Amino acid sequence: MSRYGDIFTDERLRTIFPPERADDFFEALFGDAEEGSYDIELGYVGHRDAALEFVLRLIQRPGKCLACNLTYGLPKVFARHPVINAGGIAEAVAEAAGHASATWQFGNTREDSRELHVVPLIITLG
């Protein structure tokens, strides 16, 4: 496993982006966490030099629909939503990797399956 793979374990990723943040996001968005159609999970994909690739996995909730038209606009929403806190994610990643700072950028939503969409999050260490 790579140096960063050893750092960004599932346990650490759940600390950086706790599972309950999805409910907090839907509570803020709709006023009711039960209205959310997916759970959100942070995953580590790999790195290229100082650029670390993560994804926010959108995992369909039972009995809900993960419609493409609802997830394709999420990079822009996630970029500015205080509950998602992309800047805080980047800071936590930088700290875990032993760096003082990081910048971040979301990519376009990908549909891996009907039940799983992913939003790439590239964090570049400073």
Per-residue HEC secondary structure of the chain comes to: CCHHHHHCCHHHHHHHCCCCHHHHHHHHHHCCHHHCCEEEEEEEEEEECCEEEEEEEEEECCCCCCCHHHHCCHHHHHHHCCCCCHHHHHHHHHHHCCCCCEEEEECCCEEEECCEEEEEEEEEEC
Quick one: pLDDT at residue 70?
Answer: 72
pLDDT for residue 24? 97
What's this model's pTM, rounded to 2 decimal places?
A: 0.93
Tell me what pLDDT residue 49 has: 87
Two structure tokens written together for 65? 């629909």
Encode pLDDT of 57-74 as tens digits.
Answer: 999 999 998 876 678 889
Cα separation, 74 vs 81, whole angstroms: 10
What is the band of 106 on the pLDDT scale with cuts at 50, 70, 90? very high
Q: Please list the residues that pair with 41 across neighbouring strands.
A: 57
Decide if 27 contacts 33 (C-beta within 8 A). yes
In this prediction, what percent of the chain has a pLDDT beyond 90?
Answer: 81
Residue 3 scores a pLDDT above 80: no
Q: Which residue has the higher pLDDT, 9 or 72?
A: 9
Looking at residue 69, what is its pLDDT?
Answer: 64
> pLDDT value at position 68?
63
Q: CB neighbours of 9 closer than 8 A, spacing ≥ 6? A: none
